[in-house]
Chain A
Amino acid sequence: MTDFQQAQQTDFQQKALTLAGQQESPAWLAALRFEGSEQWLNADWPSRRTELWKYTPLQALQKNTSATWSRVLPQGVGSASLLTVDALRLVFVNGVYDPEGSNVGIASADHTSVVRFSSANAEQRSLIEKHLGRIVNTQRHLFASLSNAWVQDGVLVHVPRNAVLEKPVYVVYVSTPESEPVIANHRLLVVLEDGAQAELIEHFVSDTQPQNSFVNALTEISIAANASLQHYRINLEQEQQIHIGGVHIDLQRDARYSGFTIAEGSTLKRIDYQINHRGNGAHASLNGVYLPRNNQIVDYHTNVEHWAPHCTTSEVFRGIIGDSARAVFNGRILIHPDAQKTLAELSNRNLLTSDKAEVDTKPELEIYADDVKCAHGATVSQLDQTAMYYLQSRGVSKALARTMLSFGFINELLQELPQVAVRNYLQHHLTELFHTGTALE
């Protein structure tokens, strides 16, 4: 690595930290911001030799040394398509809260469960202080320290003991290009008390113009005993949008997490899931889909750690990689010595629809307990030739047969989604995507 590159990297860290320092933030978040700043600045910038970033270079991000941040709500955002869902909706545009697009602020008396950090009451504040930045492991997640350094506002979803959130929480993060590239840091904290239930939809979306911003989105989730969360995270931004995201989940005794994530690719898109089974009998399922095409990259890193006995994990990721695109899937399941009677399954299947498409898949199973049942597997293949023949033998053209089989490969996961609004939205989106043919050949 040359001195010149070294200097560039430091520039970006410096620049981002300067911008972080400009954020107006309540005093009670100062300690976290300070801690984040220290870590961000002292962190070694990832290189090709850094295992966690081996296949995903950060060059595209480093160019952002002239970046700024949005001080006012950008106007004229029109073309982003949202879900049609009856939900408690919060909208942020380039990181700025949009009261017009949101519907929770006005009914705060009814919806005390969903609040922005900036309007949190004393009780909510102490919840935030207790959990924010404490579920994520910043040693392993560099961009979480930037998020901590930057934190000024964010969303708290808090569901008290044995309560059920009456509607899904729908958080929309819109990106729109501005004259200078902007950095937006999104922060979400979910705290479910014992026996609570909630549904959360996070939707990252942009208008169709070429984007120039960097989104760093960190979600932390604490699920207490017997509580359960249904969580969707949808990443369908325009392909020049840089996105680095992380979801970090702690599960206590008999807690249940059921997650689904989908991402199209971009210049740089990296999403991490960290799931910690901390209490006996917890269950996590996570299904994911990635669909990079053109020259895009999608990188999913998932890390599930079983710290307690009798927990179960089920994880299924599928990808279709087209054109000259690249996907990275790194799925790690780590069974610590105390986690006896663990049941864990991980499957990753990839479909390459072009000779130039590439996937680096690495399922990793590390087991330090002796009485567990674990299975993992990864495949990379082309479309099933027998199925192609079957469709064609019924008069279906080769091109349409490819489209149908590709859609079917993903639709197997979509059709299981319990939230009908998400299911319909994604099925419709994928039908359009595949019929344009860009994901194929």
Chain B
Amino acid sequence: MLEIRNLNARVEGADILRNLSLTIKPGEVHAIMGPNGSGKSTLGNVLTGRPGYEVTSGEVLFNGQDLLALEIEERSREGLFLAFQYPVEIPGVTNMEFLKASVDARRKHLGLPDLSSFDFMKLARETSKKVSLDAAFLKRGVNEGFSGGEKKRNEIMQMMLLEPSLCILDETDSGLDIDALQVVASGVNAMRDDKRSFIIVTHYQRLLDYIVPDHVHVLAGGRIVKSGGKELAHELEAKGYSWLEDEVA
């Protein structure tokens, strides 16, 4: 599914990712944890091609394709999805238009016919129900005036509509209350199958009680310093990150 080899990346002149390597197989859920500033969010941004994130060396294969050679929108159409840590507000563009444009693009890429407006509305309404967002949100500007939790649920809704093969959740749990956290987790769990993979980027172990990972990696100083099973998350919760940082140093 995804193979990252010796990835080095830089943001505003600072080296953030250093020789990061990671292999994700179909159907796996990987959690990436780590202290603030360790490069967790950078990974998602680099993989999706966010402007300003410069790859200095290394390679990334996504289903055998050179991911870094693709345009931002091509990566999405190929099945890569990033749930943003800070979803963007776009006043004047309705959520419905936005969702339709993205679903149209993905379907076209897959060789599927466009959904009619009616069918799309129906699908969007059903999906919004699954993430407990009122359908009225569809008529509002993209994320405009949404609470933190509503924005995150909107991200999960987009993920459900696009049915990506690799989903990266970038601190989707931050700022969520327990109800919203459960909505997000059940959305992710409902999408888990033996083909779809997930990268869950989080600072806390809490989300991983609901979305149980197959692998847990600790990122520090821009590389993976420790990998393990789900029990590693509990260990981190108990001991914090500093012992690992000491170990690395």
Interface check B178, CB cutoff 8 A: no
**Nearest CB in chain B: distance from A93 CB, A:** 35
A80 at the interface (CB under 8 A from B): no
Identify which of B49, B73, B158 gathers the most chain A CB atoms within 10 Å of its CB: B73
Judged by a CB distance under 8 angstroms, whether A45 is at the interface is no
In Å, the complex CA distance between A409 and B30 comes to: 39
Is the CB–CB distance between A389 and B90 below 8 Å?
no
Contacts of B241 in A (CB 8 A): none
Docked CA distance A415–B71 (Å): 33
Q: Which residues of B contact A398 (CB under 8 A)?
A: 71, 73
**A389 — which chain B residues lie within 8 A by C-beta?**
50-51, 72, 88
Contacting residues of chain B (66-98) with chain A, CB-CB under 8 angstroms: 71-73, 75-77, 82, 84, 87-88, 90-93, 97-98
Known A-B contacts A390-B84, A404-B98; the reply to A395 vs B93 at CB < 8 A is no
**How far, in whole Å, are A412 and B76 apart by their CA atoms in the complex?**
28
User: Are A412 and B91 within 8 A (Cβ)?
Assistant: yes
Tell me if A396 and B87 are in contact (CB < 8 A): no
Q: Which of A387, A395, A397 has the most B CB atoms < 10 Å from its CB?
A: A395
Query: In whole angstroms, how far apart are the Cα atoms of A195 and B132 in the complex?
Result: 47
**Which residue from B51, B76, B82, B93 sits with its C-beta under 8 Å from A404?**
B93
Contact between chains at A394 and B71 (CB < 8 Å):
no
Chain A residue, CB-CB nearest to B105: A395
A87 interface contact, C-beta 8 A: no
Count of chain A residues with a beta carbon within 8 Å of a chain B beta carbon: 24
A120 interface residue per 8 A CB criterion:
no
Main secondary structure of the interface of A (DSSP, over half): helix
Asked if B101 CB lies within 8 Å of chain A CBs, one says yes
Residues of chain B within 8 A of A401, CB atoms compared:
73
Verify A392–B88 contact, CB threshold 8 A: no
- Bitwise interface map of B from 104 to 148 toward A, beta carbon under 8 Å scored 1, else 0: 011001000000000000000000000000000000010000000
Query: A179 on the interface (CB 8 Å rule)?
Result: no
A408 pairs with B72, CB closer than 8 A? no
Q: Check if B162 is an interface residue, CB within 8 A of chain A.
A: yes
How far apart sit A335 and B97, CA to CA, in the bound complex (Å)? 43
Does B50 contact A397, Cβ atoms closer than 8 Å? Answer: no
Q: How far is the CB of B111 from chain A (nearest CB, A)?
A: 14
Within 8 A of B (CB), among A352-404: 385-387, 389-398, 400-401, 404
> B101 and A404: CB pair below 8 A?
yes
- A409: chain B residues at CB < 8 Å are 92
**A55: CB under 8 A from chain B?**
no
Q: Which of A397, A408, A411, A412 is close to B105, meaning CB atoms less than 8 Å apart?
A: A397
Residues of A404-420 whose CB lies within 8 A of B: 404-405, 407-412, 415
- Alpha-carbon distance A386/B101, docked complex (angstroms): 17
Known: A400-B101, A404-B97. A392 touches B76 (CB 8 A): yes
Contact B90 A390 (CB under 8 A): yes
Q: What's the Cα separation between A410 and B92 when bound, in Å?
A: 7
Determine whether the beta carbon of B92 is less than 8 Å from that of A395: no
Which residues of B sit under 8 angstroms from A394, Cβ to Cβ? 73, 76, 98, 101-102, 105, 158, 162
A407 touches B73 (CB 8 A): no
B172: interface (CB < 8 Å): no
Q: Does B48 contact A (CB under 8 A)?
A: yes
In the complex, which residue of chain A has the Cβ closest to the Cβ of B144? A412
- In the assembled complex, which residues on chain A have CB atoms less than 8 Å from the CB atom of B105? 394-397
A386-B88, A405-B90, A408-B93 are known contacts. Are A393 and B98 too (CB-CB below 8 A)?
no
Minimum Cβ distance to chain A for residue B72 (Å): 4
- Pair B93/A390 contact, Cβ less than 8 Å: no
- Whether B162 and A415, one on each chain, are in contact in the complex, defined by CB atoms closer than 8 angstroms, is no
- Nearest CB on A from B118, distance (A): 19
Cross-chain contact B77 with A395 (CB below 8 angstroms)? yes
Cα distance, A58 to B212, chains bound together (Å): 71
* List of B residues within 8 angstroms of A411 by Cβ: 92-93
Residue of B nearest to A400 (CB): B101
Q: For B49, what are the chain A residues with a Cβ–Cβ distance below 8 Å?
A: 393
Given contacts A389-B50, A389-B51, A400-B101, contact A395 B90 (CB under 8 A): no
The reply to whether A395 and B98 form a contact with Cβ atoms under 8 Å apart is no
CA distance in complex: A409, B91 (Å):
7
Q: Which of B42-67 contact A (CB under 8 A)?
A: 48-51
Residue on A nearest B161 in the bound complex, by CB: A394
CB of A397 within 8 A of CB of B73, answer yes
Question: How far is A394 from B51 in the complex, measured between Cα atoms in Å?
Answer: 15
Query: Closest CB-CB distance, B96 to chain A, in whole Å?
Result: 12
Docked CA distance A273–B41 (Å) = 50
Please report the C-alpha to C-alpha distance between residue A389 and residue B52 in the assembled complex, in whole angstroms: 11
Query: Across the interface, do B93 and A407 meet the contact criterion of CB distance under 8 Å?
Result: yes
Q: How many Å from the CB of B157 to the closest CB on chain A?
A: 12
Chain A's closest residue to B108 (CB) is A395
With known contacts A405-B90, A410-B92, A395–B109 Cβ distance under 8 A? yes
Tell me, rounded to whole Å, the shortest Cβ–Cβ distance linking A116 to chain B.
40
Please state if B102 and A396 are interface contacts (CB–CB under 8 Å). yes
User: Bound complex: CA of A394 vs CA of B161, how far in Å?
Assistant: 11
Q: For residue B77, which residues in chain A have a CB less than 8 angstroms away from its CB?
A: 395
The residue in A385, A391, A415 that gathers the most chain B C-beta atoms within 10 A of its C-beta is: A391
For A387, A405, A410, which residue has the most chain B Cβ atoms within 10 angstroms? A387
- Which residues of the partner chain B approach A397 to less than 8 Å between Cβ atoms? 73, 105
- Chain B's closest residue to A411 (CB) is B92
Report the Cα distance A404→B88, complex, angstroms: 14
Question: Contact at B76–A395, with CB atoms within 8 Å?
Answer: yes
Docked Cα-Cα span, A280 to B65, in Å, equals 70
Q: Are B73 and A395 in contact (CB under 8 A)?
A: yes
CA distance A369 to B150 in the complex (A): 45
- Measured between beta carbons, the chain A residues less than 8 angstroms from B82 are 393
Distance in Å: Cβ of A260 to nearest Cβ of chain B: 15
Given contact pairs A385-B51, A405-B93, A412-B141, enumerate 8 new A-B contacts (beta carbons under 8 Å): A389-B72, A391-B90, A392-B71, A394-B76, A394-B102, A404-B97, A404-B101, A411-B92
Q: List 13 A-B contacts (CB under 8 A).
A: A386-B88, A389-B50, A390-B84, A391-B98, A391-B101, A392-B71, A393-B76, A394-B76, A396-B101, A404-B98, A404-B101, A408-B141, A412-B141
Q: Which 4 A-B pairs have the closest CB atoms?
A: A408-B92, A395-B105, A394-B102, A408-B93
